[in-house]
Structure 1
Amino acid sequence: MEPRVTFYSRQGCHLCDEARSVIESVVGDDYAEVDIDQDADLQERFTNEVPVTYVDGRQHDFWRVSEDRLRAALARPPE
């Protein structure tokens, strides 16, 4: 089963480090992380918005991740 949270990030991004910490405090290691710099399409799409967090395939947050909002989103059943 796919993780409900997908986290788009890049190396050397301090906001990504902060967001990763919040995500891990909520879901542990049950999330997928994608380095946008490994895919030209993702790099073009997200370059100015990382980190970007998706829940159940839908964009949830970018730049900052709210622990409360993430917990609330995950409390709802997947669509």
Structure 2
Amino acid sequence: MGEQVTVEVLTKQGCHLCEDAVEVTRQACAEFGLTHQVVDITEDQQLRELYAEEIPVLRIDGTVRDFWRFDPVRLRRLIQEALDSAC
């Protein structure tokens, strides 16, 4: 299958919701054989300006799909939809 879908979690240090979101994302991606990227917004001014109040943010293939608390069931559905559309 390969890495056909890009899954990113936008985070910042010291954010407990971010830690939870990264773990939920890691588990969901592992089920699909995908990896995810963790992007610290504090290192990117544009990301900080866009997402400072919504962290953590889930992006799939560059599109914001969720923020704050990630629901594992919804996340799996979003990944499956992205994989289906990538075929």
Normalised TM-score (structure 2)? 0.81
Aligned to 1:61: 66
> Secondary structure of the equivalent of 1:48?
coil
CA distance, structure 2, for counterparts of residue 43 and residue 78 of structure 1: 30
The question of 1:50 aligning with 2:55 is answered yes
Q: Which moved more, 1:26-35 or 1:48-57?
A: 26-35
**After TM superposition, what 4+ stretches of structure 1 lie above 2 angstroms from structure 2?**
1-4
For residue 57 of structure 1, report the CA deviation from its aligned partner.
1.9
Letter in 2 for 1:30: T
Change (3 A) 1:9 1:48: same
User: Which structure carries more helix by proportion?
Assistant: 2
Q: Which runs of 5+ in 2 are unaligned?
A: none
Aligned to 1:21: 23
Alignment root-mean-square deviation, CA: 1.7
* Structure number with larger C-alpha Rg: 2
Aligned length: 79
Normalised TM-score (structure 1)? 0.88
Q: Which moved more, 1:27-36 or 1:50-59?
A: 27-36
Kindly, what percent of the aligned residue pairs are identical? 34
CA distance, structure 2, for counterparts of residue 64 and residue 71 of structure 1: 14
CA distance, structure 1, for counterparts of residue 11 and residue 5 of structure 2: 16
CA distance, structure 2, for counterparts of residue 66 and residue 78 of structure 1: 21
